[in-house]
Each structure stands twice: as C-alpha cells, then as structure tokens.
C-alpha cells in the first residue's frame, strides 16, 4: 500500500474509534443519540439530552486530547529519530519533557493554579521551550548530534532531580498528591477549553516539523550532503527542535508526562513507509493518535475503579519495548 492509502486507513480507524469510544463507558450511550445530537440537538428527549451532555462535556474533550497527545508525541518522536539518526531517540532525550514537567510542577508547588487555570498548561509549554534553550546553550551553536544528545541527557537529569526535590519539599500532603497525580499522565477530567488552549501550539509544532521533513530526507545521506544541497544545518536543527518542543510541551501541558509514545509509534509504523523520514512524520502522527486512544481505553478497562493513569501504563509497556529494541540492536 502507498503512504496516502495508509494515511487514509489510519484516519478512518481513528474516526471509527472516536465514534465507538464516545458511546462506551460507565453510562452506555446509543450511537444514534450522538448522531441525532450532531444533526439536531433540539429534537432530543430529556434522557437523550443527558446522554449528549456526558458525550460532549466529558468524553469528547478526553478523546480529543488523547488524539492530540498521541499525534504530537508520535510526530515529535519520528522527528527526533530522524534528526539524531538514532532509532532509540524520543522527545524526552532532549530535556523537553522534563523541562515542561518541572515548570508545571513549580506552578502546582506554589499553588499558582488558583490564580488562573491556564497557568498550568502555559507553564508546561514555556518550560519545554526553556529546557530546549538550555540544551542549545550548553551544546553550542554548531554542536554535533552527539553533543546535543549528551546535553539533553544532562538537562533531563537536572530537571528530574529538581522535580524530585519539589515533591520531597511539598508544603502539604495535598500539594504533593496533586503533583504526583499530574506527573503520572492522564487525559481524564479535561474540558474543551484545554483543547483550544494547546491547539495553536500543536498546529505550530506540526507545521515546523513538516517544513523540516525535506531536510530529514536529505539528512539520511549525511550532514555534508545536506549542506552541499543548500540546507543550513543549524537553522534546520533549530526549527525541528522548536517544533518538537512545542508539541511535547503542549502534550505535557494537558496530559502530564506520557512517555515512550514517541519511541514506540515510529518503530511500529516504520515498515510502512520504507525508511522515508517525511512520510514517517505523517504516519507516526496519525498512528500516534490511534495508539493513545487505544491506550486510554485500555487503562479505563483494566481499572474501572481508581483509574489507571495512561502515563503509568505507557511506562509498563514502554520499558520492555525499549529493552527489546536494545537487545535487537545488540545481537543483530
């Protein structure tokens, strides 16, 4: 199958999943109720109106955010693997995820969320940018890929230590619980305002990565070849890393830390695109949206009581996946 056929198939699969998951849950909602409400909300009975309220105010924001998080992390992971030319790379390696998480944790630590609900997601987006800026300053303007990776790992360790310090010095048990739950990663209890809040950052990040897709294609031939073809490596790298920061920061902003999506999804779909980095960006984004939808549904099914966080479930799945990749690279 061609790439556009795979893309169409993934979009159709996403649409079917959205329709099914909108009508599944603790309260079963007939599919016809959802369709009727979309066509004409005025014709609903009181019971159907209640069902539509559940769908539109609880389930729809959750599913949209799960889709956006998966789309963002999937594309960001594919971009990182192409840029660093390392199939084990993912957004967290550059300190972007931990930088976003650190600033958001500080907002929770000092109780600033009470001032305005937008402070938490906005702080995560700003934190991702600051994390990237620190990595770039440490690595230097003309840094090699290896230097960038080492700077990213160092910054990630620093940010993670600061997060642990904030948790250990939490002013009260409620603040520590709030920070811990947020760091576990979840798309539950969200609303459409949060979707609209992060959407501009996600769109900007997607455009930057798609713009850099041609450079990733040429980069497979080597940096010298890319430079000889008129690409400015520093400018291209900065654009791609900024796109990764925007996508990762927006995802952390609304869902907390959800790891391994950017690692697993590109690996699962790479055989479909024949090692074409630009095609991998598109298919990883679409597959990421489907993947996180399925992970969120699985988390709800496995734990119908106290809900299993998708960040925790992804860690349980991603850890073994990462080990398998390491072993395959070691013995192949």
What is the tens place of the pLDDT at every residue in 182-218? 888 889 888 888 888 889 999 999 999 999 999 998 8
Mean of per-residue pLDDT scores for the chain = 85
Kindly report the number of other CB atoms within 10 A of residue 171's CB atom: 10
Average pLDDT over residues 22-38: 62
Task: For residue 264, name the pLDDT band (cuts at 50, 70, 90).
Answer: very high
pLDDT value, residue 16: 94
Question: Does 265 score more than 70 pLDDT?
Answer: yes
Task: For residue 26, name the pLDDT band (cuts at 50, 70, 90).
Answer: low
Nearest to 205 by CA among 125, 276, 104: 125
Question: Does 87 score more than 70 pLDDT?
Answer: yes
pLDDT value, residue 9: 96
% of residues, the chain, pLDDT over 90: 35
Distance CA 250, CA 265 (A): 18
pLDDT value, residue 114: 75
Spell out the domains of the chain, with CATH numbers in brackets: 3-331 (1.10.3470.10)
pLDDT value, residue 28: 61
Tell me whether residue 101 is exposed, middle or buried, using C-beta atoms within 10 angstroms of its C-beta: 0 to 12, 13 to 18, 19 or more: buried
Write the DSSP symbol of residue 23. T
Write the DSSP symbol of residue 169. T
Q: Using one digit for the tens of pLDDT, what is the confidence trace for 41-85?
A: 555 566 656 666 677 777 889 999 999 999 999 999 999 999 888
Question: Does 118 score more than 80 pLDDT?
Answer: no
State phi, psi for 117 to the nearest 5 degrees.
Answer: -65, -20
Distance CA 135, CA 154 (A): 9
Flag the least confident range among 33-47, 134-148, 263-277, 318-332.
Answer: 33-47
- The predicted model scores a pTM of 0.89
Question: Does 40 score more than 60 pLDDT?
Answer: no
Kindly report the number of other CB atoms within 10 A of residue 96's CB atom: 33
Average pLDDT over residues 173-190: 84
Average pLDDT over residues 85-100: 82
pLDDT value, residue 290: 98
Task: For residue 251, name the pLDDT band (cuts at 50, 70, 90).
Answer: very high
- Asked whether the beta carbons of 120 and 104 are under 8 A apart, the reply is yes
Determine the Cα angle at 140 with ends 134 and 145, to 5°: 95
Write the DSSP symbol of residue 55. I
Distance CA 251, CA 66 (A): 9
Q: Using one digit for the tens of pLDDT, what is the confidence trace for 126-161?
A: 898 898 889 888 887 666 777 877 888 899 999 999
């Amino acid at each position: 199958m061609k790439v556009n056929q795979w893309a169409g198939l993934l979009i159709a699969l996403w649409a079917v999943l959205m329709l099914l998951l909108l009508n599944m849950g603790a309260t079963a909602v007939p599919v016809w109720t959802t369709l009727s409400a979309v066509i004409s909300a005025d014709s609903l009975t009181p019971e159907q109106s209640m069902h539509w309220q559940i769908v539109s105010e609880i389930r729809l924001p959750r599913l949209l955010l799960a889709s956006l998080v998966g789309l963002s992390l999937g594309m960001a992971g594919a971009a990182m693997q192409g840029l660093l030319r390392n199939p084990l790379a993912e957004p967290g390696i550059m300190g972007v995820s931990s930088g976003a998480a650190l600033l958001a944790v500080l907002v929770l630590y000092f109780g600033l969320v009470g001032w305005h609900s937008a402070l938490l997601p906005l702080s995560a987006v700003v934190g991702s940018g600051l994390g990237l800026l620190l990595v770039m300053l440490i690595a230097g303007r003309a840094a090699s890929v290896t230097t960038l990776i080492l700077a990213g790992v160092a910054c990630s360790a620093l940010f993670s230590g600061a997060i642990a310090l904030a948790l250990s010095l939490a002013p009260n048990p409620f603040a520590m619980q709030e920070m811990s739950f947020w760091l576990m990663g979840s798309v539950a209890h969200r609303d459409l305002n949060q979707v609209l809040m992060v959407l501009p950052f996600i769109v900007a990040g997607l455009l930057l990565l798609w713009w850099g897709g041609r450079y990733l294609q040429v980069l497979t031939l080597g940096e010298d070849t890319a430079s000889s073809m008129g690409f400015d490596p520093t400018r291209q790298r900065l654009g791609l890393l900024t796109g990764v920061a925007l996508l990762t920061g927006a995802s952390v902003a609304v869902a907390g830390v959800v790891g391994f999506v950017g690692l697993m999804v590109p690996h699962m779909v790479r055989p479909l695109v024949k090692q074409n980095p630009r095609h991998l960006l598109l298919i990883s984004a679409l597959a990421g949206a489907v993947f996180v939808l399925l992970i969120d549904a699985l988390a709800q099914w496995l734990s119908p009581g106290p809900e299993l966080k998708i960040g925790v479930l992804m860690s349980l799945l991603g850890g073994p996946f990462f080990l398998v990749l390491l072993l395959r690279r070691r013995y192949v």
